[in-house]
């Protein structure tokens, strides 16, 4: 049981829908700052999709970009692609519509103050969600994320400040995967990226979102409340 308290912790679920990555990033940082100032605030699970964008973790190498990118300039309007370096762990990844992105804003003091444990819990949420379709997703030892028949279907990258989490996971439901061709996803050269709709045609983000919310509640042992934002 993730949350060892007898009484389940309250967690609000907010669906941001299709939103620009930068807007979601700024709003996350604001929510985390509020909770650092007031650790008693409720936990939040934000779910969204993004317009096409590439993000690099704090220590990510630009060698994994297959296009020219001058990080010394902020003139992103000169790029054909939108790129951000953010404070999460991990290498480069790609977001686009059809990908279910989750940003849990949790106070780990109420769960376990262990980042490896937290990463494994996020993987478990994905694995249980996929299992509802009769598919056996899995972890790969030494790597972070979730794979299905050798294809990476979910990437995970987090940031934790004073035990308040931000960033999170991205599950490929029915995206256009061609954007991944311009990078080495997560810096992993020998493992392809895949999506759920390769195994289950006509799958939608809305359908998977409902199942993922249930899996999240089970894994983290929380009482969820849906909220319109």
Kindly state the average pLDDT of the residues 84-103: 96
The reported pLDDT for the residue numbered 191 is 85
pLDDT of 2 reads 54
Position 61 scores a pLDDT of 93
Q: Which two tokens stand for residue 53?
A: 């964008």
What is the average per-residue pLDDT within 58-78? 78
Nearest partner of 164 among 105, 90, 111, judged by Cα: 105
Note the pLDDT of residue 84.
94
- What backbone phi and psi angles, to 5 degrees, belong to 85? -100, 125
146: pLDDT strictly greater than 60: yes
Residue 77 has what pLDDT?
46
Inform me whether the pLDDT recorded for 5 exceeds 90.
Answer: no
Cβ atoms 125, 215 nearer than 8 A: yes
Cα 171 to Cα 26, 74, 153: the distances in Å are 21, 29, 6
Give the structural domain span for 161.
9-227
Q: What is the reported pLDDT for 28?
A: 97
Task: Estimate the crossing angle of helix 115-131 against helix 205-220, to 10 degrees.
Answer: 130
Identify whether 14 is part of a domain.
yes
pLDDT of residue 1: 43
* CATH code, 18: 3.30.930.10
Q: What is the mean pLDDT of residues 131-155?
A: 97
pLDDT confidence tier of residue 8, bands split at 50, 70 and 90: confident
pLDDT at residue 229, as a whole number: 67
Domain-embedded: residue 222: yes
Q: What is the 3-state secondary structure (H, E, C) of the chain?
A: CCCCCCCCEEEEEEEEEEECHHHHHHHHHHHHHHHHHCCCCCEEEEEEEECCEEEECCCCCHHHECCCCCCCCCCHHHCCCCEEECCCCCCCEEECCCEEEEEEECEHHHCCCCHHHHHHHHHHHHHHHHHCCCCCCECCCCCCCEEECCEEEEEEEEEEECCEEEEEEEEECCCCHHHHHHECHHHCCCCCECCHHHCCCCCCHHHHHHHHHHHHHHHHCEEEEEECC
pLDDT at 76: 53
* pLDDT (mean) for 127-147: 97
What percentage of residues in the chain have a pLDDT greater than 90? 86
**Which residue reads 């007031």 in tokens?**
38
Task: Please list, in sequence order, all residues whose beta carbon lies within 8 angstroms of the beta carbon of residue 86, skipping any fewer than 6 positions away.
Answer: 25, 55, 56, 57, 58, 159, 167
Beta bridge partners of 222: 9
4 domain-assigned: no
Give pLDDT, residue 125. 98
Average predicted confidence (pLDDT) for the chain: 93
For residues 158-173, give the mean pLDDT.
98
* Number of domains making up the chain: 1
Note the pLDDT tens digit of each residue in 26-40: 999 999 999 999 999
Q: Which residues belong to the active site? A: 186
In a domain, 197, yes or no: yes
Residue 3 lies in a domain: no
pLDDT band at 69 (very low <50, low <70, confident <90, very high): confident
């Amino acid at each position: 049981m993730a949350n060892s308290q007898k009484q389940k912790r309250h967690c609000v679920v907010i669906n941001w829908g299709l939103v620009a990555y930068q807007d979601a990033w700024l709003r996350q940082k604001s929510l985390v700052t509020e909770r650092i100032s007031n650790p008693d605030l409720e936990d939040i699970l934000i779910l969204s999709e993004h317009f096409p964008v590439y993000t690099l973790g704090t220590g990510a190498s630009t060698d994994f970009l297959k296009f020219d990118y001058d990080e010394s300039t902020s003139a992103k309007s000169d790029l054909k692609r939108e790129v951000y370096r953010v404070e999460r762990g991990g290498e480069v990844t790609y977001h686009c519509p059809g990908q279910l992105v989750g940003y849990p804003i949790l106070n780990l003091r109420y769960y376990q103050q262990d980042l490896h444990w937290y990463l494994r819990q996020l993987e478990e949420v994905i694995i249980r969600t996929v299992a509802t379709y009769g598919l056996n997703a899995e972890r790969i030892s030494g790597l972070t994320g979730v794979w299905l028949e050798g294809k990476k279907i979910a990437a995970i990258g987090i940031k934790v400040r004073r035990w308040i989490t931000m960033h999170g996971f991205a599950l490929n439901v029915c995206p256009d995967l061609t954007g991944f061709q311009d990078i080495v996803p997560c810096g992993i050269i020998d493992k392809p990226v895949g999506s759920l709709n390769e195994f289950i045609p006509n799958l939608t983000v809305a359908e998977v979102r409902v199942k993922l919310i249930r899996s999240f509640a089970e894994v983290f042992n929380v009482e969820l409340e849906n909220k319109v934002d």
